[in-house]
């Protein structure tokens, strides 16, 4: 298992990585659906911590595989089999999501997580054996993962009041393992590959919102005889998702990942991006329930089920993608839009106003980009097939 080069040309996601992502769609869908159900039933105090705990397990397992594969994807038989074991763990985890929300029982989720992480530890041990230069780093990963697996299993035996404390501690330690391991020798993850992989997962979580908008249209046509109000909610939900996609992919992130510190902040910060994007789908679904009078939650609370994740998404994308590349007064539009989105639930057209604010933000982003860019003298060549530009600060 030889480490791949960090500057390898034409590095793209492999079919196995795409299959891995596809299987994680199931887990993300289960988490979003459970969040939607709990909020619609007015179990908000229970739904938020449960959703964050479940989504952390999903995201963390996906992220660890992604960074490992960026450095050590040999695509041989052992690698493929080990990855398929990780996928099996993801499916077990997804199967445990309903029980986690309904009964606060994390047993099945923990077993699925343990399966994924055991396979990950095996991958790191194999990398440490074959890569002497980074052997200490790889073995630190394997050791940290293995010890924490015992911690997660032990947590199942604790009383509820201690289990919560143990869970928070275990999450902190999980986040610390890569920082500790990479101090012994940075793995050769590929910046462009990592940016692409994160972009693909962003599309997966945004897909949950697309599904919610689609279900709204289906409900309006099949059940409510083409109800205009429901169709308008579906249209506004679709516009919100389109704008979120535009804002995330407006500027490539690959050139930002030029140091381990930045990569850690950027990689960890995407928990908020991904969790909020998936939660937007749940918020749109709750808005549909309110419109069809099937929700047991008030209109203001239902409005915040959409407004809060949209605001978190805007602030996190701004902090990770926009501010590092264009600091200055122009970027104030993102936090301003987020603040205004948080006011929309106080109106009777929360979803529509949110959609309008995001469209305005997209327009402002496009205008700002064009104002800051002029053709490079002499034609300038191209970047990724597009004319090169020279930013004017």
Kindly write down the DSSP assignment for every residue of 190-222, as one continuous string.
-HHHHHHHHHHHHHHHHHHHHHHHHHHHHHHHH
User: Who contacts 106 (Cβ-Cβ below 8 Å, separation ≥6)?
Assistant: 53, 96, 100, 156
60 within some domain: yes
Position 89 scores a pLDDT of 92
| 164 and 218 both lie in a single domain | no
| 203 and 338 both lie in a single domain | yes
Give CA–CA dist 113/280, Å, rounded: 25
| 219 and 299 both lie in a single domain | yes
Q: What is the pLDDT of residues 189-204, one digit of tens each?
A: 888 999 999 999 999 8
CATH of the domain at 240: 1.20.1410
The alpha carbon dihedral of 77, 139, 22, 14 has a sign of negative
389 within some domain: no
Question: Which of 392, 365, 209, 220 lies closest to 292 in space, CA to CA?
Answer: 220
Beta partners for 374? 390
| 199 and 176 both lie in a single domain | no
End-of-domain residue from the set 151, 182, 213: 182
Give CA–CA dist 62/264, Å, rounded: 15
Position 391 scores a pLDDT of 36
252 within some domain: yes
| 203 and 337 both lie in a single domain | yes
| 38 and 175 both lie in a single domain | yes
The alpha carbon dihedral of 99, 103, 106, 111 has a sign of negative
| 206 and 292 both lie in a single domain | yes
Q: What is the pLDDT of residues 148-197, one digit of tens each?
A: 999 999 999 998 889 889 999 999 999 999 999 998 888 888 889 999 99
The residue ranges of the chain whose pLDDT is under 50 are 374, 376-393
| 207 and 299 both lie in a single domain | yes
7 within some domain: no
Q: What is the pLDDT of residues 330-348, one digit of tens each?
A: 678 899 999 999 999 999 8
Question: Which of 306, 313, 301 lies closest to 361 in space, CA to CA?
Answer: 313
Q: What is the pLDDT of residues 12-41, one digit of tens each?
A: 889 999 999 888 888 888 888 889 888 988
| 276 and 367 both lie in a single domain | yes
Pairing relation of β-strands 373-375 and 382-383?
unpaired
End-of-domain residue from the set 182, 204, 236: 182
Q: Which domain holds residue 363?
A: 191-375
Position 153 scores a pLDDT of 94
391 within some domain: no
Position 11 scores a pLDDT of 81
Position 196 scores a pLDDT of 92
40 within some domain: yes
Position 225 scores a pLDDT of 56
382 within some domain: no
Position 220 scores a pLDDT of 58
| 128 and 228 both lie in a single domain | no
Position 33 scores a pLDDT of 87
- Domains: count for the chain: 2
92 within some domain: yes
| 102 and 251 both lie in a single domain | no
Q: How far apart are the first and last CA of the chain?
A: 45
| 174 and 138 both lie in a single domain | yes
Long-range contacts of 198-202, Cβ-Cβ distance < 8 Å, separation of 24 or more: 198/66, 198/253, 198/267, 198/270, 199/248, 199/249, 199/253, 200/13, 200/18, 200/21, 201/21, 201/24, 201/62, 201/66, 201/274, 202/245, 202/248, 202/249, 202/273, 202/274, 202/277
Q: How many helices (H) and strands (E) does the chain have?
A: 12, 4
């Amino acid at each position: 298992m030889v480490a791949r080069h960090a500057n390898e040309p034409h590095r793209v996601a492999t079919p196995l990585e795409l299959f891995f992502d596809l299987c994680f769609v199931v887990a993300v869908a289960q988490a979003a659906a459970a969040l939607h159900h709990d909020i619609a039933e007015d179990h908000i105090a229970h739904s938020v911590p449960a959703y964050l705990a479940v989504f952390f397990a999903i995201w963390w397992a996906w992220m660890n595989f992604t960074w490992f594969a960026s450095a050590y994807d040999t695509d041989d038989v052992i690698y493929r089999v080990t990855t398929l074991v990780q996928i099996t763990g993801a499916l077990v985890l997804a199967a445990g999501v309903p029980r986690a929300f309904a009964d606060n029982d994390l047993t099945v989720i923990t077993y699925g997580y343990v399966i994924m992480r055991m396979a990950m530890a095996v991958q790191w041990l194999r990398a440490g054996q074959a890569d002497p230069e980074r052997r200490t780093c790889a073995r630190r990963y394997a050791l940290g993962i293995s010890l924490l697996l015992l911690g997660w299993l032990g947590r199942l035996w604790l009383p509820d009041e201690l289990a919560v404390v143990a869970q928070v501690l275990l999450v902190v330690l999980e986040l610390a393992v890569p920082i500790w391991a990479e101090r012994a020798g940075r793995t050769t993850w590929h910046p462009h590959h990592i940016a692409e992989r994160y972009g693909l997962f962003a599309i997966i979580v945004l897909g949950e919102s697309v599904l919610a908008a689609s279900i709204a249209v289906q409900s309006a046509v099949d059940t409510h005889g083409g109800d205009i109000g429901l169709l308008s909610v579906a249209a506004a939900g679709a516009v919100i998702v389109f704008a979120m996609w535009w804002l995330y992919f407006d500027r490539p992130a690959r050139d930002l990942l030029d140091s381990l510190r930045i990569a850690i902040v950027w990689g960890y910060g995407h928990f908020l991006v991904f969790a909020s994007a998936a939660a937007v789908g749940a918020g749109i679904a709750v808005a549909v329930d309110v419109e069809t009078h099937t929700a047991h939650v008030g209109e203001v609370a239902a409005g915040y089920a959409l407004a809060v994740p949209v605001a978190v998404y805007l602030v996190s994308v701004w902090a990770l993608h926009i501010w590092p590349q264009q600091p200055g007064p122009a970027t104030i539009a993102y936090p301003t839009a987020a603040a205004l989105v948080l006011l929309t639930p106080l109106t009777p057209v929360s979803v529509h106003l949110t959609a309008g604010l995001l469209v305005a933000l997209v327009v402002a982003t496009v205008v700002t980009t064009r104002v800051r860019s002029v053709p490079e003298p002499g034609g300038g060549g191209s970047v990724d097939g597009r004319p090169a530009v020279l930013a004017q600060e």
